[in-house]
Amino acid sequence: MNKKNWTYFVRLVGVIMFLAPLYLPIYSYLFENVKTHQMDLNDIGFSLVGFFLFAGGKNLGTLANNIGVALNSLVNKFSK
């Protein structure tokens, strides 16, 4: 499996992980005869991990780098 296919596979897993916890709450919202299902903390965490797997790559790396630069400048400002 080459790098491009591996990236698509991880993103597909991320989409499934993101949408799986949302299926029952959305389904119960749209149809009257279905019992209401609330998301718990595990569902939210699972969905967030799926989102990061799907959206991963350059954008999240840039965001993490910018957060690191900001934290570094704060530490330098308060340590002087």
- Residue in the structure block whose two tokens are 């149809």: 31
Please state, in angstroms and rounded to a whole number, the distance separating the CA atoms of residues 23 and 58. 28
pLDDT of residue 8: 84
- Residue in the structure block whose two tokens are 């209401």: 36
Local confidence band at 80 (pLDDT 50, 70, 90 cut-offs)? low
| Type of residue numbered 20 | A
pTM of the model: 0.61
The pLDDT tens digits for 16-43 are 998 899 888 888 888 888 788 788 899 8
Q: What is the DSSP letter of 34?
A: S
